[in-house]
Structure 1
Amino acid sequence: MMNKLLIVLIVTLFLSSCEEQVEERISPSTRLNVQKVENLSERGIFDAWGIAKVGNKFIIRTSNGVTAVSGKETALSRSKGSEAKGVCLFDFMRKEIVEYTPMNGDEIRSIPLELPEGEQHLAAVKGSDFTISTGIYDKGRYLYTPTAGEAKYFVAYPVHSGYLDMTGKQKAILYASSVLRIRPDERSFVCADMYSGGIDFCSVDNGSITLVKRVCFHAPDIQVRGKENPKIAYTKNNRMGFSDIAVSEDRVYALHSGKTYNESGKDFYTCNELLVFDWDGNLLNTYMLDKSAVGVSYDEGENVLYAVSNAPDIPMFRIHLPE
């Protein structure tokens, strides 16, 4: 009887580490061959960390800032969304979230987002009349800020089974590195953790955010030292999570690493797995990419993904999606 109770307790604690849902990741069933578009190093771009396709231009994020480049190939002229919104990224120099929008030529406009003062904001997405952000918030994981009206916090952080007494701020620090993307119709958004296998699917309705499903493939492997001013550190056995996400009206495409520093060394953050979900949080497919990537963006007009690698030549790839 005691053994059964112990098993139940262990399972309960494991489930609570990612709250509503824990799923086993399906084995990669299809290997996708990527098609190289160009080496961005030939344009003087090095050390790329992200990519976003806005109209017929690409916004490339590097360790030195953000650059906009025009697509070289004629196929890019079929792309939709020339009036698309800019891309919201955290500017480490300004220590604030900035919206970047490509202009004429390779010029880029940068405008800081207007978010409530007194908080440390780290990631954001914009709707037509609202902004959703994450950061070091102790009142909730997501902050909904309307263009006019009061900002409100929604959704609790995941619970780590090894540290059940974490405060809201400690949880916020643990899950601070996140990728946030909004659905084109602005009724849903997704938030994935870079340092664990956790990903939230949320709905947006009438100024409120509801957690639809929380999926967790692997919880963060951490050590917490100190009580007065605790320091949270990831171990070398921690499995990296999601480096980037791209979204369409009906799908979520997530680049997943699953690698540890002990296994892969300095390349532990690179991703060869592409996980495909619907907006209800159901995992539909897992693909293995024949080249590693760190950033991904969806192009509606071509129905393809564009990805960028941090390999020496900084190659940009096109990924054709199976029908």
Structure 2
Amino acid sequence: MSTPWIARLRPSGTATTRLICLPHAGGGGATFRSWSTGLSDGVDLCAVRLPGRESRLREPLLTRMGDVVGELAGALTEYLDLPYALFGYCSGALTAYELARLLEQAGRPPAHLFVCACPSPAAVERDSGVHKMSGPELADHLRALGIIPTTIIDDPGLFALFEPSVRADYEIFETDVHRPAAPLNLPITVFGADDDPSTTVPTMMRWREETSGEFTMRLFPGTTRSSNRTARRSCVRWPPNSRRWAPAEVGAAYPARPGGAWQTRPPWTRTRCGRSPPCSGNATPSTRRSPDTSDAR
């Protein structure tokens, strides 16, 4: 079992399920390297590695959603021998959604779709033009989001290595045309943070329109990185041993924003519906040849 599209971060010969993770714009398998800690023994942890990053640094970048999803679905064929879930982080959530739709149509649907820090496909802003920005404009945009280390943005050499994959990933979802379709027949769980500059509660809530199965939303105080850490704590316990999840993990009191939408319900409360809401992350390229994120292929 080997393909350059997948980094096996914790391969297991006795796995009974598989968790396949898709990173933020410009990211690679390194985004999920820490997830192997605390993961259930029966889960094989995998991360998607798109062309143009890490061990695929010299490969041409893809800039269209159809190309990414089509090639990725083919590469995943041998990884679908176990029940599996997809997890998409930031813009990777949109790719995970399109991948889930394609695999469901092919009769190989995931058992669960997890998405983090991303508006729903119907609510995401696609005409922001980030992928067409000049270098300085893109750097300022990423700096304003506050989720790319300034050590990368302010270092011309590091930013030059990081910029092409970020720009390509923005182009993927900014040029993708969302076509309303029948909802997925699988559960969707959304993770979000209340102070995330890349999304809002209403746009994340619209993910419930994309499933005819169970919808769960979990909101926590903090930023995009906070929601990703929260998602990690929940996803490493997938599949659940009983019902769905343990009680919510935020124990401290959390005040609702004045005049906000959360004055009648604490934002960490899980929201469930039977049926009927992108950013870049902390990738840290450090060499001209981006290293692998895992010893296992």
- TM-score range for the pair, normalised by the shorter chain length: 0.3 to 0.5
Give the TM-score of the pair, scaled to structure 2.
Answer: 0.32
Normalized per residue, the structure richer in helix is 2
The structure richer in strand per residue is 1
TM-score w.r.t. length of structure 1: 0.31
Q: Compare relative contact order (CA 8 Å, sep 6+) and give the higher one, 1 or 2.
A: 2
